[in-house]
Amino acid sequence: MEYHYKTYGTCSTQIDFEVENGILKDVSYEGGCNGNLQGICRLVKGMPVQEVIAKLEGIRCGMKTTSCPDQLCRALHEIGY
């Protein structure tokens, strides 16, 4: 199923992602640091959602309380993971 999550506290403004049977099938960010976010998207594609959360949750960006990877985890929690 496809989801769209409006981010907050980051340079990116939205995350579009697809989850199928607990596997993250596709991820893309709008805005943010293009090269870094492309890398994150490629690394997490095909990973179990719980593994993505375990690796990325709580990452901060500088003095911010969140980051683009952390926002992905928040989006995954919002849909029930």
pTM of the model: 0.96
Whether the Cβ atoms of residue 36 and residue 48 lie closer than 8 Å to each other: no
Helix (H) or strand (E) holding 27: strand 23-31
Predicted pLDDT of residue 50: 98
Q: Per-residue confidence at 73, pLDDT binned at 50, 70, 90? A: very high
Q: Is 67 helix (H, G, I), strand (E, B) or coil?
A: coil
Q: Which domain holds residue 42?
A: 2-78
Q: What is the pLDDT of residues 21-68, one digit of tens each?
A: 999 999 999 999 999 999 999 999 999 999 999 999 999 999 999 999
Q: Per-residue confidence at 20, pLDDT binned at 50, 70, 90? A: very high
The domain tally of the chain equals: 1
| Residue 32 token pair | 């943010």
